[in-house]
Structure 1
Amino acid sequence: MGSETFIEVILAILLPPVGVFLRYGCGVEFWIDLVLTLLGYLPGIIYAIYVLVA
């Protein structure tokens, strides 16, 4: 795991959509994560970490 990925994972824990946005921009992954975060903070975190690490 590089330093960029580490920073993205930290941001994904604090603000899930921001971490995904840094990697994918305003793509489908960002919008899915935004909706999941609005529905519940924990699903947003889980999805963000899954997308960034996988």
Structure 2
Amino acid sequence: MGAASAILLVLVTIFLPPLGVYAIAGCGADLLVNICLTLLGYFPGHLHAFYLEYVYYDRREQTRLGRFSNTRAPGVYSERIQSGGNGYGTIVQPTV
């Protein structure tokens, strides 16, 4: 299901970048930045949207593999994207 949702999100983002950002970040600073960039030009809005999607899915995959990033991705304001969609729940460290 993860690959299908990512492909659908990319297709949505190709046609309307702010909608793709809203799907992963919700209503916040990232969405406002993307709307402004899209109004300035279609290409900057796409770059920003695809960057946010890359960070979101990369952090999600890293968390699934048990690797946790302490650094914040530059230019990303949403905690949902920074954490890869994982909320403030308890994270159990994997045993080796």
Percent identity, aligned pairs only, is 37
- Between the aligned partners of 1:12 and 1:53, the Cα distance in structure 2 is 12
Q: Residue 12 of structure 1 corresponds to which residue in structure 2?
A: 13
Higher radius of gyration, 1 or 2? 2
Query: Can you give the 5+ residue segments of structure 1 that lack an aligned partner in the other structure?
Result: none
Q: Residue 28 of structure 2 corresponds to which residue in structure 1?
A: 27
- Between the aligned partners of 2:13 and 2:49, the Cα distance in structure 1 is 6
Higher relative helix content:
1
> Residues 8 and 20 of structure 1 are in contact (CA less than 8 Å); yes or no, is this contact kept in structure 2?
no
How much has 1:33 moved relative to structure 2? 0.5
Which portions of structure 1, spanning 4 or more consecutive aligned residues, are displaced by more than 2 angstroms? none
Q: Residue 48 of structure 2 corresponds to which residue in structure 1?
A: 47
> TM-score, structure 2 length as denominator?
0.52
Query: Can you give the 5+ residue segments of structure 2 that lack an aligned partner in the other structure?
Result: 56-96
Question: Relative contact order (C-alpha < 8 Å, sep 6+): which is higher?
Answer: 1
> TM-score, structure 1 length as denominator?
0.87
> Residues 11 and 18 of structure 1 are in contact (CA less than 8 Å); yes or no, is this contact kept in structure 2?
yes
- Between the aligned partners of 2:46 and 2:15, the Cα distance in structure 1 is 8
**RMSD over equivalenced CA pairs, Å:** 1.2
Aligned residue type for 1:30: L
The worse-fitting range, judged by mean Cα deviation, of 4-13 and 34-43 is 4-13
Aligned residues between the structures: 54
